[in-house]
Amino acid sequence: MRILVVDDEEKIRHVIREYAEFEGYEVKEAKDGMEAISKCKEEDYDIIIMDIMMPKLDGFSAIKEIRKTKNIPVLMLSARGEEYDKLFGFEIGIDDYVVKPFSPKEVMARINAILTRVVKKEDEKSTEGKYIYQGLELDMLGRNVYVDGKKKDLTPKEFELLQYLIVNKNIALSREKILNEVWGYDFFGEDRTVDTHVKMLRNSIGKYRDNIITVRGMGYKFEE
C-alpha cells in the first residue's frame, strides 16, 4: 500500500512517515499542493494524507485537481476545526478529517479504516459481476461457474461457499464464520458440514481445488 503525505511542515511528514512505514506502508512526500498534483500524475497511491493550508496551492484545490483524473481516497489534515472546512472537504469528496494537533496513532487508525472500506466496496462491486482467475470464472449474477470454458454443475450451497471464499480471498476464515455467513446464524450445523462441502467444491472445480487452502486448526481460505 502506498501513501502520499502532503504537508508544508517537514516534522509532520516525518512523524506520519515513521508510523506508516512501521505498519508496512510505502510512503512518499510532497510539501505543497502543486507537488502533490505532480506526483499523482507520475504515480498511483492508495491514499493521500493532505493538509489544507499550504503555500503555492491549498489542499482543497489540490484534491479537486487530482480528482479530475484519479479517484484516490483522501484523509484531510487541518489546524482549523471549523465546521465549514469539514463540510466543504466532504463536499469535494474527502473520506475523513483530522484536526491538528493530532495523535499519529489516530491518523493510522483512520487510514486503516478508510482503506478497509475501500477494499470492502471493491469486493461488493465484484459480487455484482464476474470473478475470473486464470481459467476459473464465477458469474455472480447468473450463479454459474466455468472451468476452462466448461460449465460446472454446483449445488446452491457449493456456489455460495465458493462465492464467499472468493469475495474474502486471501483471508483465513474459520469454520464457524463460514457456517454463519453461508448457512446463516440460525443453522445448527457442525464443522463437518463445512468440511464436506469444501471437499465437494474442490471436486467440482477440478484443477483449481488447490486454490482452496486448508488453514490448519481454523478453517479455509481461497488463495490466488
CA-nearest of 99, 73, 90 to 2 is 73
Whether this prediction's pTM lies above 0.85 is answered by no
Residues 59-114: pLDDT tens digits?
Answer: 999 999 998 888 899 999 988 777 778 788 888 888 888 988 899 999 999 998 88
Q: Which residues of the chain have pLDDT under 50?
A: 187
- Per-residue pLDDT at 191: 66
Q: Where are the domains of the chain?
A: 2-125, 130-222
The maximal CA–CA distance of the chain, rounded, in angstroms, is 64
Q: How far is CA 212 from CA 70, 148, 149, in A?
A: 34, 17, 20
Distance CA 37, CA 152 (A): 48
Distance CA 160, CA 166 (A): 10
CA-nearest of 40, 83, 85 to 60 is 85
- Per-residue pLDDT at 151: 94
- Per-residue pLDDT at 79: 80
Q: Which three three-digit cell numbers place residue 125?
A: 462491486
CATH number belonging to domain 2-125: 3.40.50.2300
The third-level CATH classification (topology) of the domain covering 130-222 is Arc Repressor Mutant, subunit A (1.10.10)
Distance CA 168, CA 29 (A): 32
Residue 119: partners with Cβ closer than 8 Å, 6 or more residues away: none
